[in-house]
Chain A
Amino acid sequence: MPFIPHTAADVQHMLHTIGADSIDALFDEIPESLRIQGLEGIPPGLSEMEIGRLMSERASLDGRPLSFLGAGAYEHHIPSAVWAITTRGEFYSAYTPYQAEASQGTLQLIHEYQTMITSLTGMEVSNASLYDGGSAVAEAALMAVRAHRRSRSLRLLIPSTVNPSYRRVVQSTAGNQGVRFETVPYLRESGCIDPVALEGYAGEDITALVIQQPNFFGQLEDVDRLTDWAHAQGMLVIAVVNPTSLAVLKPPGEWGAKGADICVGEGQPLGVPLSSGGPYFGFMTTRMEYVRSMPGRIVGRTVDLEGRPGYTLTLQAREQHIRRGKATSNICTNQGLLMTAATIYMTLVGPTGLARVAERCTAQTAALVAALAQVKGVRVAFAGSRFHEAVVLLERPVADVLRRLESQGILGGVDLAADYPELGPALLVCATETKTTADLQRFVDSLRRVLEAA
């Protein structure tokens, strides 16, 4: 009973106070036929020393390869202070800040987060975060349907340059409510949305256009033109962005003449470890006019009885605990700890540090792409500008090449065969600020050897 404090005397005393003979008697309202006698399938308990040994052994099986994987989760430096503070018990073991007076730390921190993320995205209001990037895109799709005053079609355009995982999450989340998605193809030369295909939807009743920048291939879309086109068609614009890139790229609030309407993305690059895919957090910002259509927790600044400033959850009447079946979403939580980490991260790197990170990512990826292009049997898939990812085309099956690289301790990128078979053998590579010139060289040399050996 590792975490139960009661002594035998405590138990006797408590049962006596209750007026019960045994702990078992406390379960006398449960039909006898349903009660179980034990959990034989669970192994015996372990002391902390034993579990520590076990977990260290398990962790060592996972290895520490040199990784050029991206596709929605990115390896960045995380300042030591970020998780040292985030895992303080006062943040780690607190609940949702319903009792505002006893939760000012969490509430003020959320408010600071909202301030930073609205500025980073160039929007007006932010919620306190959502589950992850994929679910944030799904919530944005549902929000667009609620927020759009005239469109009744429940149709959204999602180009194939949007992360395929996000598209799957949108389908499994919003599809149940009758929302339909149409995929717009990309141009083979640029890896960007095909404007002619898009034009084919002109004049139709469509609720929103989703634009990912940088897109899944790492290429930069012509966001101004796309945004203006969608607005001219009466569609809302949902921007899906990488927060690191926003230190140097135009924020969605400034896209086109009017700016995007809803902005979402994966917050993981802001101080959250890769950790096999989670916990991460999704961010969501929008214009003030749509704030009541936005799902999730929102913190506002107000005053207390004595006129002192303080923070509290606000606009709660949109939420499930009040609106029940008519709520904007069933979501109860935000990803509190991850948002806490991101706020500390953004504070520590600051505007210049984040720009430095973005620059170095772009530069290292450009250097990697240039070097890979020199390897025989490798071609760069798309022309045009890019951020910190790129697609390269090989002349033999990618899966096999990746396996050979793995045996040399290198994870060489993401195989696009399943999602983009039309590209042939295609590999999505990513280099962030964590990669040194020597790392890039090692990757290029290994790939050259693998391709030559074939």
Chain B
Amino acid sequence: MNQTLEKSIFEYSQPGRGAFAQHPPVADGAAVLDTLPPALRRRTPPRLPEVSELDAVRHFTRLSQLNFSIDTNFYPLGSCTMKYNPKACNQYAMLPEFLARHPLAPDTQGQGFLSCMFELQEMLKEVTGMKAVSLNPMAGAHGEFAGVAMIRAYHRARGDLARNEIIVPEAAHGTNPATATMCGCVVKEIPVDAQGDVDLEALAKAVGPNTAGIMLTNPSTLGVFERKIEAVAKLVHGAGGLLYYDGANLNAILGKVRPGDMGFDVIHMNLHKTFSTPHGGGGPGAGAVGVSARLEPFLPVPVVGREGEGYRWLSEADRPQSIGRLSAFMGNAGVLLRAYVYMRMLGREGMSRVGEHATLNANYLMARLRTAGFDLAYPTRRASHEFIITMKRQARELNVTAMDVAKRLLDYGFHAPTTYFPLLVPECLLIEPTETESRETLDAFVESMVAILGEAQTDAARLKGAPYTMPVRRLDDVRAAKQLELTWKPVNSAA
């Protein structure tokens, strides 16, 4: 990793400089702008950098070198499934014909693309056990939105207008309650028991005539399989509610269990997790949704349909009860192509191995870290594809926190696990190795964790000050939030 800070692109800028190969030829009718009313014209040019092409290429390449990434580092970020993103997926999603295709081009000019989308829908149905799929949502949270909106639409269509409560286990990802609120629902949180399973008694009390549904992740955010899932489904369905499956952790069970078979009515899948499309520094994701038969009419449009040998978009006219459109066109098409390539390369055998080896790696890492002296949050449980260690004891005895360990890991060349999530477990590190990491990598991670634990006992201050080898040391978050500097300004500027 490059440890030298890179100056701002604006500091390279010089009036009159430019990447002139990128300027189009002057149009014959350039004077046409003079016919625009002066009141509608821009008076001063925008402050964009004026740099040569090489300046730009070097600057952004150097910026890239200030990042950890899967391609450069083990990235065991729990709940994020940071597995290898095969290069082929990118290469074949970026074929010129795919890139050039306009979203409003007729279906006849997109049979290749549409056939991939149709087959992707079919494959996602198969691996999740759902009846129908829409590829439209553009991220996990967007898929959640679609899912809860469908649940609401379903109840409304039946005239069941009172059902506006969404039940969420307290360990849930923050998007779950935020989504419920966005959909105009009221959130009811229920506890989980000491073993990490949903508290059935609390659930039984929570359900009723106002229950729209429950949002669950399984395996849960606690890194364990929800063993009472069949009882949960029975309770919620019995009360007239529907079950929503948050697919954040689908990688753990791919090829082993299907949400549809567990009784879920609607699910979203994070294609950027389970199906290895890139995280891209925070997006684009893709949050396809799957539903049981009774929710199919409500799926967001468009959906790809097959007629004879051809494929076409199904829109509002074909799906009058649809919850509508969630994007201007049809979602993150290019991401969907990457997921398609990934699934075709894995095939049925490869797909079943994903859940198995993700689980193997997590349980191996968990076993080794426990032997090395770390405390597990749920020591009596199997790990799913991830698990939690808690630094509560070290925080009390040594004044070393989960955040200190996370920051020190960066110095050892490992991206930190997820810290302080789930909120339920104090001083927690949520660790997800994924199936694409080798035993040697996992062993090296364990060795580093052992070394850090040693430092915690002998030189806690060393951890408190970490990291030391990154381009910057720990940053002043309080200053960032109080003295908002959200755009770059010249150093000598008074502003």
A and B touch in the complex (CB under 8 A): yes
CB atoms of A165 and B328 under 8 A apart:
yes
Q: Which of B62-70, B200-208, B388-396, B449-457 contacts A (4 or more CB under 8 A)?
A: B62-70
Return chain A residues, CB-CB under 8 Å to B458.
none
Q: How far is the CA of A273 from the CA of B416 in the complex (A)?
A: 34
Known contacts A39-B126, A326-B181: A55-B95 contact under CB 8 Å: yes
Give the contacts of B83-141 with A (CB-CB under 8 A).
Answer: 83-86, 88, 90-106, 108-113, 115-116, 122-123, 125-127, 129, 138-141
B473 at the binding interface (Cβ < 8 Å): yes
CB atoms of B352 and A359 under 8 A apart:
no
Q: How far is the CA of A281 from the CA of B280 in the complex (A)?
A: 13
> What would 5 A/B residue contacts be, using CB atoms closer than 8 Å?
A51-B344, A93-B279, A118-B487, A124-B487, A351-B48
Return chain A residues, CB-CB under 8 Å to B476.
302-305
| Chain A proximity mask over B203-242: 1 for CB below 8 Å, otherwise 0 | 0000000000000000000001101011000000000000
Return chain B residues, CB-CB under 8 Å to A109.
60, 63, 281
CB atoms of B103 and A64 under 8 A apart:
no
B158 at the binding interface (Cβ < 8 Å): no
| Chain B proximity mask over A146-190: 1 for CB below 8 Å, otherwise 0 | 000000000000000001011011011100111000000000000
CB atoms of B333 and A62 under 8 A apart:
no
Give the contacts of B121-170 with A (CB-CB under 8 A).
Answer: 122-123, 125-127, 129, 138-142, 144-145, 149, 152
- Which listed residue (A135, A302, A336, A355) contacts B475, Cβ 8 A? A302
Return chain A residues, CB-CB under 8 Å to B363.
14, 18, 20, 26
CB atoms of B178 and A323 under 8 A apart:
yes
Give the contacts of A304-353 with B (CB-CB under 8 A).
Answer: 304-306, 308-312, 314-315, 317, 319-327, 329-338, 340, 343-344, 346-353
B9 at the binding interface (Cβ < 8 Å): yes
- Which listed residue (B23, B27, B95, B485) contacts A353, Cβ 8 A? B23
Q: How large is the interface on A (under 10, 10 to 19, 20 to 34, 35 or more residues)?
A: 35 or more
CB atoms of B46 and A354 under 8 A apart:
yes
Known contacts A73-B103, A163-B328, A223-B40: A62-B98 contact under CB 8 Å: yes
A364 at the binding interface (Cβ < 8 Å): yes
Q: How far is the CA of A380 from the CA of B37 in the complex (A)?
A: 20
Q: How far is the CA of A320 from the CA of B182 in the complex (A)?
A: 11
Q: How far is the CA of A166 from the CA of B77 in the complex (A)?
A: 35
CB atoms of A320 and B56 under 8 A apart:
no
Min C-beta distance of B20 to chain A, whole Å:
8
Min C-beta distance of A140 to chain B, whole Å:
14
Task: Considering the complex, give the chain B residue whose CB is closest to the CB of A128.
Answer: B282
Q: How far is the CA of A150 from the CA of B353 in the complex (A)?
A: 57
List the 6 shortest-distance A-B pairs measured between CB atoms, nearest first.
A45-B347, A277-B329, A89-B71, A172-B324, A277-B103, A134-B328
Known contacts A43-B344, A248-B42, A327-B178: A108-B66 contact under CB 8 Å: yes
- Which listed residue (A104, A115, A302) contacts B471, Cβ 8 A? A104
CB atoms of A34 and B255 under 8 A apart:
no
Min C-beta distance of B212 to chain A, whole Å:
12
| Chain B proximity mask over A118-135: 1 for CB below 8 Å, otherwise 0 | 111000111011011111
Return chain A residues, CB-CB under 8 Å to B57.
81, 85
CB atoms of B344 and A96 under 8 A apart:
no
B331 at the binding interface (Cβ < 8 Å): yes
CB atoms of A105 and B105 under 8 A apart:
no
Return chain B residues, CB-CB under 8 Å to A366.
29, 32
Return chain A residues, CB-CB under 8 Å to B21.
79
- Which listed residue (B26, B352, B477) contacts A39, Cβ 8 A? B352
Q: How far is the CA of A177 from the CA of B187 in the complex (A)?
A: 14
Return chain A residues, CB-CB under 8 Å to B46.
116, 119-120, 246-247, 251, 351, 354
- Which listed residue (B112, B125, B152) contacts A176, Cβ 8 A? B152
A301 at the binding interface (Cβ < 8 Å): yes
| Chain B proximity mask over A72-114: 1 for CB below 8 Å, otherwise 0 | 1101010101010101111111111101111111101101101
Return chain B residues, CB-CB under 8 Å to A322.
174
